[in-house]
Structure 1
Amino acid sequence: MAQRLTDAEIQEQAGGLSDWTVEESKLQTTRTFKDFIAAIEFVNKLVEPAESAGHHPDIEISYNKVKISLTTHDAGGLTQKDFDVAAVLSQIN
């Protein structure tokens, strides 16, 4: 099991990610697209990197908005895995 990060480690890691926030032990970002189809196309691009990492985000879709949340459930909070996956997902358009 991955080790949960301390508050100081979380703040340090979060500083390296633009457009991501830490809320209630979750790392979150919201992306906005031109329409629902573009939002779904984006979500489909998240599948391969999440599968490769063996770490899957929680995803909420509301028409043209996609909210991505990462946390390591079995560790009870944020771990390095969350920040590693967030960095990869940040590169996807």
Structure 2
Amino acid sequence: MDWEVRQDPERLYKAFRFPDFREALAFANRVGELAEAHHHHPRLTVEWGQVAVEWWTHSAGGITEKDREMARLTDLLG
């Protein structure tokens, strides 16, 4: 998995790049639907041509297997 591990809190991070804002926003919406379906929600930062996705479990204070699975599923949407 090519996700970066960041700290404070420990989380999985990946930036997905797109040719324009419209495609970035569409991807963010797909991630949102995935999150709702699994009752597990990431931090999403949407910018022109890029969406940064961060997964971690607040109650665990860091990365769990569920976060790794959500990252894997997110990759399938990209």
If the length of structure 1 is used for normalisation, what is the TM-score?
Answer: 0.77
Task: Find the residue that maps to 2:77 and give its secondary structure.
Answer: coil
Q: 2:43 aligns with which of 58, 61, 64?
A: 58
1:23 aligns with 2:15: no
Q: Give the corresponding residue for 1:86.
A: 71
Cα separation, 1, equivalents of 2:62 and 2:52: 18
Question: Identity over aligned residues, as a percent?
Answer: 33
Q: Deviations over 1:46-93 (max 9, x none)?
A: 122111111111001121111000110011111111001111111003
Task: Find the residue that maps to 1:28 and give its secondary structure.
Answer: strand
Q: 2:27 aligns with which of 42, 65, 72?
A: 42
Q: Which has the higher strand share?
A: 2
**Hey, which bits of structure 1, 4+ residues long, moved more than 4 A?**
none
Alpha-carbon RMSD? 0.9
Select the structure of larger CA radius of gyration.
1
